[in-house]
Structure 1
Amino acid sequence: MNTRRHRNNFVDEIVDTLTKSMQRQVYPPGSQLPSVEKLAEEIGAGRTTVREALRVLQTRGFVEIIHGAGTFVRYKPITLVTGQVLSFTEMVRERGMRATSLILEQEVIKPDAELANKLSLEPDDLIYQLRRLRLADDFPVSVETSVMSQKRFPNLFEQKWTPQTSLYNLLRDEYGIQTRYSEHTVRAVPAGRTESQLLQIEFKSPVLLVENLTFDEHGSAIEFGRSYYSSTRFEYRVVVKPDPS
């Protein structure tokens, strides 16, 4: 019992030491902590004790343990606030971070009935399906699929796409589209194999599935999106205001 109590106290001391180091920016957000072996050597503790301390820090939201890569100091979560129509790029830049994307898939396909209805498409209309890995300071945050009408946005995939390209900015600059509002549905789901690999998280760990339908200034639906966000790197804030009536 005394041995267990001593070990728990040692874990608390390590947690306190590392927390203070992060607060003093010895380990700034996004940086990697030394390996378990290195920390154990520096602190004079066993590896098991250090691993337990790192798990405590992860539970408290200070670090993120990525298997095969190491332990990283967490950024403050990227926040989407209800009532705002912000692109991923804008949300990330508001945090003072750099937004980039990796294109995973570009397809022109025939939509199913549900998508055709959401985007008010004709029976023979085709859609663009764009799938990207979204990153903040090169750290994976979401796996995003965007669907748009091929007829409304001709040659969309022939535009100049770079890792910094914002879809909404491209629609504005090349097609004169102004986004006005967006309807969101948010729910928690377990990460699938693909999402867990791309987001570098545990298989079946919780992710936020955000589905959005975005409208232009005329009230026409222009894009349907489905994004899987790491629950440790993204938060959804709901603002509730009293009914003015």
Structure 2
Amino acid sequence: MTSTGEETGAGAAVTQTYRRLSEALRRGAFPAGGRLPGERDLAGSLGVSRSTLRQALGRLAEEGKLERSSQRGWFVRANVVGEPPSTLQSFSEMARARGLRAQSRILGSRSRAATFEEAEQLGIAPAARVLELRRLRSLDQVPVCVDHSIIVLALASGLDALDLTDRSLYDTLEHECGLRIARSSYSVRAEAADEPTAELLLIEAGAPVLIGEEITYTEDGAPVLTGRMTYRSDAYRFQADLFRTI
């Protein structure tokens, strides 16, 4: 009877710990994409053993609320963003649709001559002026995407003089440059994160990332930018409607 009582008590402790952590996650005590305190500190604050804590954390991981890194500890699953099927949205529009706040930190911005490959993709003369823009995009302060864009300055005059921190590129092109984005030729592939990208996205080097590459066109069919977006694989999904030809 003593053994059974101990097992019942242990199970009750795990359940109670699980419920307390679930409530803390629901309240936002641990932000999406953020790391939980170390197991020793977290177990101490909850007044339970590390064995009990790990079982509770394991249940939350099975539900997709947490994930574990063998080297860095436990993390809250990041909010997953993605375009609705067949709908072109900017990163900021995706965030707003989910009640999240989009932020961007400028990693680099410079006006330069287009390369031969860029000129061919964008339908401009080699060495025509383009804006090269690199940004770290975040949702509610959680890094989600490294965005590298090349924009045709002949179409987006004055864009290189603007501060694009925390601004939607699509909205800025429309309201500041008079360009309305109509469509995008978009592809997605998987890669392993290199060390600089992993550091920016707060993931481990070699962890999977999703690479979205696009050429974006205005209403009159002119290509205005090429982009390469590197997303954390746990924070982005791509959807599309597919049709069979008859």
Range of TM-score over shorter length: 0.7 to 0.9
- Please give the TM-score of this superposition, normalised by the length of structure 1: 0.81
Pair 1:182 & 2:184 matched: yes
**Structure 2 gaps, min length 5:** 1-6
Change in Cα spacing, 1:27 to 1:124, as seen in structure 2 (3 Å) is closer
Equivalent pair of 2:215/2:226 in contact (CA under 8 Å) = yes
Mapping for residues 153-192 of structure 1, pairs under 5 Å: 153-159=156-162, 161-192=163-194
Which residue does the alignment assign to 1:114? 117
Change in Cα spacing, 1:198 to 1:51, as seen in structure 2 (3 Å) is farther
Partner residue of 1:145 out of 132, 148, 152: 148
Q: Residue type matched to 2:230 in 1? A: Y
Cα RMSD of the aligned pairs, angstroms, is 3.1
Equivalent pair of 2:14/2:55 in contact (CA under 8 Å) = no
1:234 Cα deviation after fit: 1.1
Mapping for residues 9-48 of structure 1, pairs under 5 Å: 16-17=18-19, 20-21=22-23, 25=27, 27=29, 30=32, 33-41=36-44, 42-46=46-50
**Structure 1 gaps, min length 5:** 1-5
1:148 Cα deviation after fit: 1.1
Q: Residue type matched to 1:175 in 2? A: C
- Please give the TM-score of this superposition, normalised by the length of structure 2: 0.81
Give the distance between the partners of 2:212 and 2:17, measured in 1 at CA: 34
1:117 Cα deviation after fit: 0.7
Equivalent pair of 2:135/2:146 in contact (CA under 8 Å) = yes
Query: Equivalent residue of 1:208, what SS?
Result: strand
Give the distance between the partners of 1:87 and 1:140, measured in 2 at CA: 16
1:29 Cα deviation after fit: 5.3
Which residue does the alignment assign to 1:104? 107
Which residue does the alignment assign to 2:197? 195
Change in Cα spacing, 1:20 to 1:178, as seen in structure 2 (3 Å) is same
Which residue does the alignment assign to 2:210? 208
Q: Residue type matched to 2:242 in 1? A: V
1:139 Cα deviation after fit: 0.7
